[in-house]
Structure 1
Amino acid sequence: MKVSLFATCLMDVFYPETGKDTVELLERLGCEVDFPEAQTCCGQPAFNSGYHTLSKETMKHMMTVFAESTYVVTPSGSCGTMIKEYPTLFKDDPEWYERAILLKEKTYELTDFIVHVLGVEDVGATFHGTATYHTSCHMTRLLKVTEAPKTLLGNVRGLTMKPLKNAQNCCGFGGTFAVKMPPISKEMVDEKVNHVEETEADVLIGADCGCLMNIGGRLQRRNSDVKVLHIASILNSQTGAKE
């Protein structure tokens, strides 16, 4: 099965290891993965900041870049959600609306793709440790991807999952929200980190790099020993806990 990787900005700049793990995981599951190098941002930051016309040019570019792809897989519920919104944003432009529909229908968040397209619930991963899982907002509320990541994590050998209090609550990142309203964002991430530390888990797992960057940054400032890993890295682990 041919799959095109949509890397996302944060993964490309801050979490390249997540991209590597995503590709290796998909290849191990039998996929042939390509990386269209002309891909750019999905347009979400610009659109959410009010630059609607400018962001649509970015969206058109993305639709063109992935036009020939069979499937587009991204390790991000947030960026995946933005692509799913393209048809709504181009509803008054017949030509681009049709192209937006095509991209929407073949774009999947990583865990959703593994479970519901590949039909795999156990990827054969091994990771020794105790972890808790943060459910990111867009992935949960808009994509409605809730069970796939939990199913996959539940089948990782050696991994003990602990419930996270108020797991459904936002971590305070919200893209530009954290920049525009830092005092509120700080209170939100502090509450999230408090709940993470209460679990006494070794690792916090998430499926969106933005959430991981925000929560991980707060954990570091607290000198916490809790590691932060993207779910792709857990699912790609074959030898146990990563140092």
Structure 2
Amino acid sequence: MLMGPTTVRFRVHIAPVGREVIRVVKPMITLKADVAILLTLSKTDQSGLSAQIIRKELEKEHIPTTIIECNISDSSEIVNEVGSIVSAYPHHEYMYNVSTGARAASIAGVIAGMFWGVRPYHIGINEMAKPVHGEGDLPTVGSPQFVPTFQIPRLDQAAIEALEFIASTKEPISKNLLITELKKTGKVGPRQSKSVTPQALYGQLDSILYKLETWGFVELIGHGKSARVSITETGIEGRKMFFHMLKPRSPLSMLE
């Protein structure tokens, strides 16, 4: 989506939720959030109850809030969730609280910062103080501190489609089979002319595989045209992180 002259740019805050309430609410108020997105494993467990309290606290500040269920103990799933949100409305400013929720959720926030341009931040707590809303909900200390990140070039659609097909096979696959699959969506094939030589097709595929191999997502067994391709453990996690690029979800209406 391109940002037009009348497009509203929101400060969108994303926070995984555990037991803490104040640590989620306070920095959103301080950083003047326009919209809040809470990630929780379930809307009915302890984190879900905390999310409901957070929503009520943010309502007092006129900050619209939505709660999304996802596995906040799986970094890859959270990265995919954040990517899905950002890709639907990339013109907004996105921030992510890495102080709250499971440790995997904190890691995901930093990765999302490198992939999707999200700004992760952290805020401390007073561990000597009494809990506010319940066990583990302690007052914050100081101001939110942004976590430095660097931008990583994302994989393109062709690489993601190739990775998905490789992941769908139980055994290493041939380059020829992968070319056949990618030709169906035009990810390899003729470019400026009406025809393409077999050598050119293999060259296009090798360019895609080079990206995946550089990321550690695939392993090539053998050499040249006869090489076979298999997905790695890292590739399995990467597939989850980029899955929204293959199956875009319905965008959040609150970000329109």
Q: TM-score if structure 2 supplies the norm length?
A: 0.31
Higher helix proportion:
1
Larger radius of gyration: 2
TM-score (norm 1): 0.32
